[in-house]
């Protein structure tokens, strides 16, 4: 989902019935502020979360929401579902009604889910060039061996899509528990990667996305707003 974007001049014409001449004058006088900084061009782009003021009058000051949720089993990673309860049903009633999910988990998977109404932020999370690690703890029906670790590190070919996964880190914790670190999130990717070796995934739990971790104090079904530092630090 993307935040709505507008050209500055078109927005001001629509919202304030200003002429192009008036907009140019306000620009020259540095009376149009975008996120507290003087606007530089009539065709500068703004979106619904830009703080925009004109000659001291606030036009836009909508604040985006960023939420961390500890997903339990038995909830769908969707905003609506005709059969099952969704992760949205776990949020307080005071939560914004236009949230979407940044990084889904399967119905029976647990762990960290991020929700937001900021399309720019969630899109950046999904871009390969953002290079964001997603870390999972996985319980398997049988132990792994070194060759599997090596193949994860080079990528596994999925014939149905004719693609090879990006290199992934695989670390054994004990006989049947591993940690997997991915930089992508294809459909049922971890289950399919282990399925390549006839190994069944019994449980999958997401521990972190980038520098945002699922702390022990956040119980299953609970959520909290991200701090401003977390919103930015996830990309560092």
Q: Give the model confidence (pLDDT) of 67-77 as tens digits.
A: 999 999 999 99
Catalytic residues: 106
Give me the torsion for CA of 19, 22, 23, 24, rounded to 10°: 120
Find the CATH number of the domain harbouring 49. Answer: 3.10.290.10
Q: Is the pLDDT of residue 214 over 60?
A: yes
pLDDT for position 113: 97
* 15 & 107 share domain: no
* pTM exceeds cut of 0.85: no
Structural domain boundaries, residue 94: 66-233
* 177 & 214 share domain: yes
* 118 & 204 share domain: yes
**d(C-alpha 66, C-alpha 64), whole Å:** 7
* 95 & 42 share domain: no
Q: Where are the alpha helices (DSSP H) in the chain?
A: 8-16, 20-28, 119-126, 146-154, 189-195, 228-233
Residue range 129-153: average pLDDT? 96
Residue range 38-53: average pLDDT? 88
* 81 & 34 share domain: no
* 207 & 111 share domain: yes
Q: Is the pLDDT of residue 3 over 70?
A: no
Closest listed residue to residue 210, CA positions, set 124, 150, 151? 124
* 39 & 79 share domain: no
Find the CATH number of the domain harbouring 186. Answer: 3.30.2350.10
Residue range 54-63: average pLDDT? 83
Q: Is the pLDDT of residue 2 over 60?
A: no
User: How many Cα atoms sit within 13 Å of 214 on the Cβ side?
Assistant: 23
Residue range 100-122, pLDDT digits in tens: 999 899 999 999 999 998 888 89
Residues listed for the chain? 236
Residue where a domain stops, chosen among 15, 34, 60: 60
* 119 & 43 share domain: no
* 180 & 131 share domain: yes
* 200 & 227 share domain: yes
Task: Please state the domain count of the chain.
Answer: 2
pLDDT for position 63: 78
* 145 & 178 share domain: yes
* 182 & 228 share domain: yes
């Amino acid at each position: 989902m993307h935040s709505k974007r507008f050209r500055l001049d078109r927005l001001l014409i629509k919202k304030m019935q200003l002429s192009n001449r008036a907009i140019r004058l306000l620009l020259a006088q540095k009376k149009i502020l975008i996120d507290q900084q003087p606007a530089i061009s009539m065709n500068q782009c703004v979106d619904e979360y830009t703080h925009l003021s004109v000659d001291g009058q606030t036009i836009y000051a909508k604040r985006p929401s960023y939420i961390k949720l500890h997903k339990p089993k038995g909830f769908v990673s969707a905003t609506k579902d005709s059969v099952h309860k969704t992760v949205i049903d776990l949020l307080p009633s005071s939560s914004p009604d236009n949230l979407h999910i940044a990084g889904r988990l399967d119905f029976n998977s647990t762990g960290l889910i991020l929700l937001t109404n900021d399309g720019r932020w969630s899109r950046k999370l999904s871009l390969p060039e953002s290079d964001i690690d997603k870390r999972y703890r996985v319980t398997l029906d049988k132990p792994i061996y070194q060759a599997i670790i090596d193949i994860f590190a080079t990528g596994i070919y999925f014939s149905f899509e004719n693609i090879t996964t990006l290199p992934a880190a695989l670390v054994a914790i004990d006989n049947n528990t591993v940690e997997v670190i991915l930089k992508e999130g294809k459909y049922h990717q971890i289950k399919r990667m282990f399925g390549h070796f006839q190994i069944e995934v019994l449980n999958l739990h997401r521990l972190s996305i980038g520098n945002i971790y699922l702390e022990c104090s956040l119980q299953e079904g609970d959520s909290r707003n991200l701090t401003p530092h977390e919103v930015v630090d996830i990309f560092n």
